[in-house]
Every structure is written in C-alpha cells, then in structure tokens.
Amino acid sequence: MAGPLQKVVTRGEGWMETEAINRAAWRAQIVEAAIEPDLPIIDSHHHIWRDAPVEPWEAYPAAAMIADKVNSAHNVVATVYVDSHSAYRVDGPEHLRVVGETEYAGSVGDDCDARGGRAVGGCAAVVTHANLLMGAAVGEVLDAHIAASSRFRGIRHMTAIDPDLPPVYGATEYGVMMRPEFREGFAELARRNLSFDAWMFHPQLPELLDLARAFPEANIVLDHTGGPIGIGRFAGKRDEAFAAWKKDMSAIAACPNVSVKVGGLNMTYTAMDAIENPRPNTSEEVALLQRDHFLTTIDLFGPDRCMVESNFPVDMRSISYDVLWNSVKRMTADLTRSDREHIFAGTARRVYRLP
C-alpha cells in the first residue's frame, strides 16, 4: 500500500523516521476539537522508548510523551509509565539491569514536575518489570526498584501469547501464571503491596482468574480491556468472541482485587483499529467500534475499578492522542458525573497511590 500507509519492513538507516513521518501525516487527516476539555484525566498506561523501538513502531522518547501531555487539548493531569523494556542498565548483575528503567522513568517524572505547568504529573507513577519466574529471589529486584524511585508502584510481567498471533507481545511460552515459581515471585510482589499489571489475551483470562483467587489481597490491574482478539480464528466471529470474552471477564469481576484499564483497543489484533485504512477513524467511528467492550467492562467491574488509558505510542499507530480521548468521552457520555470521575482519574489515583 503506497502513500501515508507505507510500511517499512526492513530495518535500515532512516526506517524509524520514514514510519514516523508517514504515520504522523496519516493521523493528521483527522483533527477534532476536544470534547469536555476541562475534565481531568489520568492516563493510566503509556510507554516511553528511550531506545530505538522494534519496527514498525514509531519513536516515542520522553520529549514526545511530554509534548502530548502539554499540548493536548484535553486536561491530562497525570500519567502512569508502564514497562517499556527500555533504558535497562548495561552493566552490573544481569537480574538487576531492569532497575535502570525505574531510574530512568523516575527521572522523567522528576523532570516533568521541575518544568512546571502542564508538564507536572508526567510519569507520576512508574510500573516496570521484574521476572517473577525467579521465584522468591525476585524480592531483591523488587527492593532495588523501590530504592530506585519513590514513583515506583509495581511491575508488569507480560504473558500475552496466542497461537494465531506473532510472538511480539512479550511472552514466548504458555501457562506462565500457573507455574509454581511464578506464584512464588508473585507472593513477593504482594507482600510488598506492589501492583501487578497483567497483560494477556482473552483466551488466557482463566489463568488470571486463578491467580486472583490465589492472592485475594494482591493489587492486580488487567491491561487493555482484557485483550479481546478479533482476528485469526476469531475473524468474522465477533459475537462468539465477545461472548467468550465477557464470560471470563464476568468471572474475574467477582474478584474485588482486580481493576481494569479500559482502552488499548486500537491495536491490530482486536480488529477494532484503523491501521490499514486510508484514513484514521473519527472519534465517533472509534466509539461505535469499541463501545460494547468498553461499556461492558465498566458495567462488570464498576467505575471505581476501571481507569482509562492511552496505551501510547502503541495505539498511536491507529489514532491521535486528542481523537483517542474524544472517543473515550463519547463512549462514557451517558454515565453519571461521579462514575466518570472514577473512570477518568479517581481509580488510577487510588490504585497507583497518586497524590
């Protein structure tokens, strides 16, 4: 496909810039005024790639994140940095190198607050990575994260894997959350009152249900609306896939220790994206595509256990920052003011212990 949808499929000098220029021009086809520009938003899930991302993702350094927050027509008062597999230490004990990401993200947050103005609140909370398959030994890594930044709140150990999807979502083996050594590591996390961001696809949700029941006091955050798949074996079977997703989400909702990030639905595997379209979707079109998953999640878990996310720069390949928040506001327009205050800021503030 030519023009602004051209993809760079081989890495070479300039590949990142080509993708960025093309995608930026493609997104710029849809420009919208902000709906409810004064509504406070805590973006509960974004990444920063200090290092070069894996193609075809665009570069998204700290400056880009800060620019999105500062220049947005929406009132993004704070953000939560999540595991980006970036800025690891390049020396020292191998198992502690991940702590470099907490040091880096914490420093970005400090810089945001020092800048003042609308930059304040960037990376207000930091969620990075520790390998829970280390078992009890992961406690040393968690303590190092805690010491590295006062913004550190928890970790994400990505487990998303599916036979119909390429192995680019952070996991290379199945059933990780069920393994004894993972549970031993998870116990160390829970003991320290740290959060666990859970990233998986909807066929894996029963594993999270088992984990949540085994650790009823743990603070578990389910990412990306539970990862509903709409391609592969689920292509053309939206109703069937939705029913399976809803069944397992309903069971997890009975676990009061699990909250959900509603969002992350602009990725290709959901079949609710616009990445291959001639132009991005408008916020009305996005709302129409995603509202069933979005509103069902809120109905199941309650507004006080749901929080909005941008999932930038991953979702950025399909939608601009301001159009994304417009779509979320459209989908939640019929909810009460109190419910929306939870979803847009209150839940994230409580779960990630923000001021």
pLDDT of residue 13: 33
Q: Side chain identity at 242, as an amino acid letter?
A: F
pLDDT at 1: 25
Asked whether 220 and 214 are in contact (CB, 8 A), the reply is no
Q: How many CB atoms lie within 10 A of CB 154?
A: 28
What confidence category does residue 65 fall into, taking pLDDT thresholds of 50, 70 and 90?
very high
Residue-wise pLDDT tens digits, 121-157: 999 999 999 999 999 999 999 999 999 999 999 999 9
Tens digit of each residue's pLDDT (9 = 90 or more) over 251-275: 999 999 999 999 999 999 999 999 9
DSSP string, 198-235: E---GGGHHHHHHHHHH-TTSEEEE-GGG----SGGGT
Cβ(333)–Cβ(294) below 8 Å? no
User: E strand or H helix at 106, and its extent?
Assistant: helix 99-115
CA distance 302 to 307: 10
Q: What are the beta bridge partners of residue 301?
A: none
For residues 345 and 54, the answer to whether their CB atoms sit within 8 Å is: no
Whether 52 shows a pLDDT value over 90: the answer reads no
pLDDT in tens, 210-252: 999 999 999 999 999 999 999 999 999 999 999 999 999 999 9
